Structure 1
Amino acid sequence: MIKPVALYLVYLPANLFFVALAYLLSPLLAAISLVTGPKLPGVLQWFSTLDADFDGGIAQGVIGYKADLSGWRLWWQRVCWTCRNPSHGWQSELLGMPADGSVIVRQVISEIPKNQWYIMETANGARFFCFKRDQPLFGGYYLKIWLGWVNKSYDGRNHHYAFQIGPKRRQ
C-alpha cells in the first residue's frame, strides 16, 4: 500500500496539469457558460466546483462577486471563479479519496497560529491527510495553505485533492 505522502506526490503532476488547464481554458469555459447557464455540461464542470455553479461566489458572499451581471462583466466574473477554484471536479473525481465510510483518525487544531492537521482513513483502510494553515501576512491578507485531501467532502462523495498555496484577503 502506498503511503499517503507518496501517493500525494504521485498525484501532484496530474493535479498541476489540470489546474493549469483550468486557468488556460477559463475564458472559453466562461464563454460556454454564457450559453449553457452557470453549470457547465458533463466533465466540463470538473474544471470548476462540484458543490457550486459558476455563480457560487455570489451565494457564498465572496468579496467582489455580484448578482445581476451580464455580458462581459458576467463572463469576467466566471473566468475569475474558475481561476479561484480551478479543477475541483478533477481533484475530487480523479484524484480524490472516497468519503463513504471514511473517518478522521486524528486531528490537531490550533488557533494561534491557525493550523489544522487531520489523518483520515477510507472504509478500505487507506490513510490520507489534510493540512491547513492561515499564515498572517499584512494589511488583512494571509497565506492560505491547504495540502493533502480536504477533510470534508464538498460533493458528498469524495475528499478532493488539495494543493492550494496563495494569498487571500480576510472578509
Structure 2
Amino acid sequence: MVRYLIYLPANLVFVWLSYLLSPLLAGLSLVTGPRLPGSLQWFSTLDVDLDGGISQGVKGYRADLTGWRLWWQRTCWICRNPAHGWQSELLGMPAFGTIIAQQWISEDPKQEFYLLQTARGAGFFCFKRDQPLFGKVHLKIWLGWVNKAYDGRNHHYAFQIAPKRS
C-alpha cells in the first residue's frame, strides 16, 4: 500500500502529460503509423497500437478513417488509456512468477479484490468496482495494480475512476 501511495504523484503527472500531449502524439502517428516510436509509446497502451479500439471492438472506433477523423480517434484512444506504458514499464509489478494469493469477487455490485505476490515475494493488490450511480451508469473504480498483465510482462499501476455505461 505504501508503494502505491508513493507512486501516485508520478502516475498523476504521467496521466496529465498523456492528456496534454495526446493531440501531438496522435498527429505524429499520422506520419509514423499507429505505433508511437520508442518510449513515446509509453503514453498509450503497450499491448495494442493507437488503433487498438478497432481490434478490441470498442464502440465508436472505426477502421475506415483517415485525416482529421483518424487523428481524433487516436487522440481519444490515448486519452482513454493514458500513460498505460508508463504505468506498466516504470510503475508496474513484474508478471513472471506472480501468483494470486487471495481473491474476493462479488456480483452485486460488481467488485473484485486481489492480493498478489511477485516471484521475489513483493506483495501488491488490485481493487475493481463498478459503483452503481443511476440507471445503467456506473462509476468504474480501479486501484492498485491490474490483476492481469495485458502486455504479458507487467501488471500495470492503476488509478482509474471514470463513468461507465453498462
Same topology, TM > 0.5: yes
Q: Name the SS for the 1:46 alignment partner.
A: helix
> What is the correspondence of 1:26-65 to structure 2 with a 5 Å cutoff?
26-65=22-61
Within 2, Cα distance between the matches of 1:38 and 1:141?
Answer: 31
- Among 100, 107, 113, the residue aligned to 2:109: 113
One-letter amino acid matched to 1:158: N
Query: Is 1:163 paired with 2:159?
Result: yes
Report the alpha carbon displacement of residue 141 of structure 1 after superposing the two structures with TM.
1.9
Q: Name the SS for the 2:58 alignment partner.
A: coil
CA RMSD across the alignment: 0.7
Query: Is 1:153 paired with 2:143?
Result: no
Within 1, Cα distance between the matches of 2:47 and 2:108?
Answer: 30
Report the alpha carbon displacement of residue 59 of structure 1 after superposing the two structures with TM.
1.1
| Number of corresponding residues | 166
Q: Name the SS for the 1:142 alignment partner.
A: strand
Report the alpha carbon displacement of residue 72 of structure 1 after superposing the two structures with TM.
0.4
Structure 1's unaligned 5+ residue stretches are none
Query: Is 1:103 paired with 2:99?
Result: yes
Q: Name the SS for the 2:76 alignment partner.
A: helix
Q: Name the SS for the 2:134 alignment partner.
A: coil
The aligned residue for residue 75 of structure 1 is 71
- Among 87, 112, 118, the residue aligned to 1:122: 118
| Structure 1 stretch displaced more, 62-71 or 20-29 | 62-71
The aligned residue for residue 138 of structure 2 is 142
Identity percentage of aligned residues: 75
Report the alpha carbon displacement of residue 121 of structure 1 after superposing the two structures with TM.
0.2
Within 2, Cα distance between the matches of 1:6 and 1:119?
Answer: 14
